[in-house]
């Protein structure tokens, strides 16, 4: 993994311990411009921790982190807004960066919540709030997007649309995305590189490589592997401009 000019963030053998317990250890990964790297793994496997190491939220980590950008958009797994703070969606959008009104509207329209602009954050539903979080993260046109379960609580059709949006953003802005997701279907269709965590990197590679891995099967079960094989069955080829079928 030699870094090149496309590298946005790179973890080398990174780990983090809290109260003498390792939350995650020995993680190496690299996010490049225009690429989507997805972290999968069971609860407590260190996905969010890894993201927080990469973001610099945890400072006393093990190993090395190289970061080549400061333009970062982050959707945390949990955000609770205190009721003592009166905050409208509009105020939240400009939290870390000043934006023009059009930029706010554009980002909110992309995630389908522009009608909520003047609503109080406390009055949004879980799915609506999640869409606002995503809109805020993309509105500043970041070079690196870190999305920690960005579509939790979003309805099914919305989920698909948002994942499509994420894919589109990575292409349009040419930004790198570090995605944490439970949804194996999506992970496999939109990801360039998968890192499967369970306190350590249990396997990593392209989605199809990971799907074949025995440790992955042990972690997620046969069914998950089948999910992938169905997916692979559907998408084991690409179409060239001329319409011919090319094998992967």
Partner 1 sequence: MFDDFFIRALVAGIGVAFVTGPLGCFVVWRRLSYFGDTLAHSALLGVTMAYSFEFNIAISVFIISSVIALILIQLQRKTNLPGDALLGLLAHSSLAVGLVVIGFLTFIRFDIMGLLFGDILAVTVNDLIIIWAGGALILLVLKLIWKPLFASTVNYELAEAEGLNPDRAKAIFTILMAAIIAISIKMVGLLLITGMLIIPAAMARNISDNPQKMVLFSIIGGLLSVVIGLFSSLEFNTASGPSIITAALFLFILSLLKIKQSIQLKN
- Using CB under 8 A as the binding rule, whether residue 86 contacts partner 1 is answered as yes
Q: Does 87 bind partner 1 (CB under 8 A)?
A: yes
Which C-beta is closer to partner 1: that of 128 or that of 203?
128
The whole-angstrom separation of Cα 187 and Cα 167 is 11
- Asked if residues 191 and 209 have their Cβ atoms less than 8 Å apart, the reply is no
Question: Which of 82, 102, 222, 242 contacts partner 1 by CB under 8 A?
Answer: 82
Site string for partner 1, 106-135 (x = CB under 8 A): --------------x---------------
Which range, of 79-87, 167-175, 206-214, 220-228, touches partner 1 by CB under 8 A?
79-87
Tell how strand 72-75 and strand 144-148 pair up.
Answer: parallel
Sheet containing 144-148: order of strands: 72-75, 144-148, 176-180, 36-40, 193-197, 201-205
Interface residue with partner 1, options 91, 101, 155, 171 (CB under 8 A)? 91
DSSP 170-239: HHHS--EEEEE-S-HHHHHHH-SEEEEESSSEEEEESHHHHHH-HHHHHHHHHHHHHHHHHHHHHTSEEE
Is residue 227 involved in binding partner 1 (CB under 8 A)?
no
Q: Which is it for strands 193-197 and 36-40: parallel, antiparallel or unpaired? A: parallel
For partner 1, the closer CB: 86 or 221: 86
Query: Is 57 near partner 1 (CB under 8 A)?
Result: yes
List residues near partner 1 by CB under 8 A.
52, 55-57, 70, 72-74, 76, 79, 81-82, 84-88, 90-92, 95-97, 120, 140, 146
């Amino acid at each position: 993994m030699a870094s090149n000019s496309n590298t946005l963030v790179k973890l080398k053998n990174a780990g983090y311990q809290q109260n003498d317990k390792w939350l995650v250890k020995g993680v190496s990964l690299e996010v490049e411009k225009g690429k989507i790297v997805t972290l999968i793994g069971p609860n407590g496997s260190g996905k969010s921790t890894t993201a927080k190491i990469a973001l610099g939220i945890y400072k006393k980590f093990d190993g090395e982190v190289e970061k080549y950008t400061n333009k970062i958009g982050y959707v945390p797994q949990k955000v609770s807004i205190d009721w003592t703070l009166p905050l409208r969606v509009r105020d939240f959008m400009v939290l870390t960066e000043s934006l023009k009104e059009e930029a706010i509207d554009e980002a909110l329209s992309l995630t389908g919540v522009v009608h909520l602009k003047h609503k109080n954050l406390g009055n949004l539903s879980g799915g609506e709030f999640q869409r606002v979080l995503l809109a805020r993260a993309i509105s500043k046109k970041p070079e690196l997007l870190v999305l920690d379960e960005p579509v939790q609580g979003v309805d099914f059709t919305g989920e698909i649309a948002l994942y499509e949006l994420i894919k589109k953003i990575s292409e349009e802005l040419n930004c790198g995305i570090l995605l944490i997701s439970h949804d194996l279907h999506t992970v496999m269709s939109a990801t360039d590189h998968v890192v499967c965590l369970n306190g350590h990197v249990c396997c990593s590679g392209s989605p199809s490589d990971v799907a074949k891995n025995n440790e992955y099967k042990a972690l997620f079960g046969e069914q998950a592997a089948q999910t992938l094989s169905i997916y692979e069955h559907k998408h084991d080829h690409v179409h060239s401009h001329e319409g011919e079928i090319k094998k992967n």
